[in-house]
Amino acid sequence: MTNPDDSRSMRERMIAGDPYIKDSEIVEMNAAALDLIAAYNATSARQPALRRRLLEQLLGSIGEGTAIRPPFYVDYGSGITIGARSFANFGLVALDGAPITIGDDVLMGPNVQLITATHPVEPEPRRQRWERGKPIKIGNNVWLGTMVIVLPGVTIGDNTVVGAGAVVTRDLPANVLAVGNPARVIRSLDSAEARAAAVQGHTRG
């Protein structure tokens, strides 16, 4: 799955979204992230300053007022950017072999999964452990309900609400309510409705 003239490292291939195999450099990146995640997941709610410091070390960027309740799981952390005033409840999984971009005022219920990694369907390259990542983008003021799964390459537009347990396999536009597996749009939301839904989600945790 490589071009003989391609001199890029596996890390460079991963960042570019091209097929790669985890080499020693990528394994070390993952190990460093897992060390930070272990430290973060061992913190108490009484240690907000320590939690903030660990997230700033782990993530590509994190906005003011954003909170993530442990436990939290990543592959590398550096591929994740989160805007201001966003909130993730217990058990967020954000596998960032490709970039994960999360906007401002996003609410995520317990056990949400943001999965950028994908593998070949052909048996031999999959056996050889080839993989690639496709970026995920979550717009501003989005609410992802409990146990929502967002699959590789998906973009979710501003103000959209995704119901609990939905599996998002393709892009969702702004200002809609989507439910189901695969997630489908069931109605439009004006911006006022979307804000109200997000407030309701926040009060429910």
Catalytic, out of 27, 119, 128, 185:
119
What residues contact 15, with CB distance under 8 A and at least 6 apart? none
What span, in angstroms and rounded, lies between the C-alpha atoms of 153 and 161? 18
- DSSP bridge partners of 46: none
Give yes or no for a contact between 43 and 58, defined as CB atoms under 8 angstroms apart. Answer: no
Per the DSSP assignment, residues forming a β-bridge with 144 are 108, 162
Ranges of H-type helices in the chain: 10-16, 24-41, 48-58, 123-127, 191-204
As a whole number of angstroms, the distance between CA 172 and CA 187 comes to 12
119 is known as an active-site residue: yes
User: What is the C-alpha separation between 113 and 117, in angstroms, rounded?
Assistant: 12
Catalytic residues, by residue number, are 119
